[in-house]
Structure 1
Amino acid sequence: MSHDVPAAGGREPRSTAWRTALTVLQEAEPPFVPQGAHAMTVVVEFPPGDPGTPPHRHSGPAFGLVLEGEMLLELEGEPERVVRAGEAFWEPGGDVIHYQDGNNRDDVPLRFTVTMLCEPGTPMLTLVDDEELALRRDRRYGARPA
């Protein structure tokens, strides 16, 4: 089966591969995008068994794709889950705590890319201190009342 379409005026045929080239990995409706936000795309790499970034939050939504390995992902109010190479993930950012993004495997590295919509003048990542974690422990999935 040919993917070529004749071009007008005797030019080379044009490809039609674009018609089937798109695969949707995820769709999301983020709750907000900070006014004046700028986009930042980063690659994050953790060695085998690394716990990843301590609990943190982002000023805006973040959309990612695991390139290699497996990420243990946990967001406030959601159960932890494993995101494998080729799978996409997202988080709403803002006030939501991102508890885990560590390497779920101790035999291979984890590599993922994330595009974040960052609030101007605010760091793209802010660590959450132990006091706030204690105050919000009831918001963590499966938490028992104190």
Structure 2
Amino acid sequence: MKYLISVIFSLTISFTMAQQNGIIRKNLDTVIMNQIVSKVEVQEITFPPNQVAPKHLHPCPVVGYIKSGAVLFQIEGKEPVILKEGDSFYEPKNSNIIHFDNASKDKPMTFIAFYIKEANEENVKLVQ
């Protein structure tokens, strides 16, 4: 459906198998967005140890989860948090991201990002 008035994006990741028919679902996050969605880009991104991301924003909402390692995460106006392996995150459209930094000085960090796009927005823009 090209024209969605309200999109409820439930990011559900299955980490272990054991429940009914061997499938366990773990709800990580539910994000409600009021926008048209024409495509979703999914990327796996790895930061080397001690990598600090510059202040940035996303012209589209981003939903994701930490595949391995830990991240210092902070949206402007909110408290910083440490996200660990298996934690999810949401970066609202056009919100300044103050920190999305590898929290380890000696281990890489990998995350999966879902860029929820209306058209051909860039994935990221640096902010002064």
Contact in 2 for aligned 1:75/1:96 (Cα 8 Å): yes
Give the drift of 1:90.
0.9
1:59–1:119 contact (8 Å) kept in structure 2? no
- Once the two structures are aligned, what percentage of the paired residues are identical? 22
RMSD: 1.9
Give 1:11-90 correspondences, 5 Å limit. Answer: 16-17=20-21, 21-30=24-33, 32-33=34-35, 35-52=36-53, 54-90=54-90
Assess if the C-alpha contact under 8 Å between 1:74 and 1:81 holds in 2.
yes
Structure 2 segments unaligned to the other structure (5+ residues): 1-19
Q: Whose strand proportion is higher, 1 or 2? A: 2
TM-score, normalised to structure 1, is 0.68
Cα distance, 1:104 vs structure 2: 0.5
1:36 shift after superposition: 4.8
Unmatched runs of 5 consecutive residues or more in structure 1: 1-15, 130-146
The number of aligned residues is 110
- Secondary structure of the residue that 2:114 maps to in structure 1? strand
Question: Quick one: which amino acid aligns to residue 122 of structure 2?
Answer: P
Structure 1 moving runs of 4+ over 2 Å: none
